[in-house]
């Protein structure tokens, strides 16, 4: 007779699902605290015993999904960055046709970006054909607090998470750059407006931008339109409508609620 391995059944499956859910909760918490968190702080944030958190963090650390932070505690590890990098090829190929439509509609440069600690990372961009045009190089890092796409992504966080993430005081890049209290006030307005954000010469003198965040199963990204202030002033309604249409079209295809089978 052949000896069969014992079957854990539904109880074993449920236990595995629970561990994955707990690991995901821990990683989401660390994702909003890039400076690192202690085991006790993680346990409090996710509502689990410290001993349970320690076991899960140790397992994640062995896979380089979590690593020790310089300031103590733990933060997200390099393996997660590799996974994100691998998904960027997908987001670029999927979003690119919609970015091209957005550029054709507005005749201004467009950007696809994601967050990288307190900065945004430019994943893709299409430059408008004007003598005077705005170019953000692919792969460049730009401050979140002074750009439209950065503020759109920040608006998805709580005020406490924003305070933890950003330096204080905020670097003043132009005379229009917000300090932290006024930035938090603007983020509240952005949340009420459906996630639409603007940069009116806050990053670079003479440059305006409008942006909106995307919620996709590939992660959180933002799309922005940037242009010289002289061409974009007074066109808020036109640009915001085009951005919302682009957001709708992309999320209909790869929205967070449309995970592939």
Q: Which stretches in the chain have pLDDT values below 50?
A: 1-7, 259-261
Q: Which of 223, 208, 215, 231 is nearest to 146 (CA)?
A: 208
- Do domains 9-76 and 80-254 share one topology? The answer is no
What's the CATH code, domain 9-76? 1.10.10.10
Tell me if 206 sits within 8 A of 228, measured CB to CB. Answer: yes
Q: What per-residue confidence (pLDDT) applies to 132?
A: 75
Residue 203 class from Cβ within 10 Å (0-12 exposed, 13-18 middle, 19+ buried)? buried
Domain positions in the chain:
9-76, 80-254
Q: What is the pLDDT of residue 2?
A: 39
Q: Look at residue 90 in the predicted model and tell me its pLDDT.
A: 79
Question: Residues near 189 by Cβ (< 8 Å), separated by ≥ 6?
Answer: none
Q: Phi/psi of residue 202, each to 5°?
A: -95, -25
Domain 80-254 has CATH 3.30.450.40: yes
- What pLDDT shows up at residue 125? 92
Give CA 183 to chain center in angstroms: 17
């Amino acid at each position: 007779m052949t000896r069969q391995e014992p079957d854990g059944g539904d109880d074993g499956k449920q236990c595995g699902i629970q561990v994955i859910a707990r690991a995901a909760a821990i990683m989401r918490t660390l994702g909003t605290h890039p400076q690192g968190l202690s085991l006790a702080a993680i346990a409090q944030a996710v509502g689990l015993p410290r001993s349970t958190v320690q076991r899960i963090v140790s397992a994640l650390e062995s896979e380089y999904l979590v690593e020790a932070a310089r300031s103590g505690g733990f933060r997200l590890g390099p393996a997660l960055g590799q996974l994100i990098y691998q998904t960027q090829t997908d987001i670029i190929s999927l979003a690119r046709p919609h970015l091209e439509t957005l550029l054709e509609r507005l005749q201004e440069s467009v950007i696809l970006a994601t967050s990288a600690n307190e900065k945004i990372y430019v994943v893709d961009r299409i430059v408008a054909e004007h003598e005077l045009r705005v170019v953000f190089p692919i792969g460049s890092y730009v401050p979140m607090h002074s750009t439209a796409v950065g503020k759109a992504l920040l608006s998805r966080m709580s005020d406490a998470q924003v305070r933890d993430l950003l330096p204080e005081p905020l670097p003043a890049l132009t005379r229009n750059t917000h300090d932290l209290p006024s930035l938090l006030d603007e983020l509240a307005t952005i949340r009420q407006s459906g996630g639409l954000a603007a940069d009116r010469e806050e990053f670079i003198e003479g440059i305006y931008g409008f942006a909106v965040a995307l919620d996709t199963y590939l992660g959180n990204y933002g799309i922005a339109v940037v242009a010289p202030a002289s061409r974009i002033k007074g066109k808020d309604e036109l640009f915001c409508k085009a951005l919302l249409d682009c957001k709708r079209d992309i999320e209909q295809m790869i929205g967070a609620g449309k995970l592939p089978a």
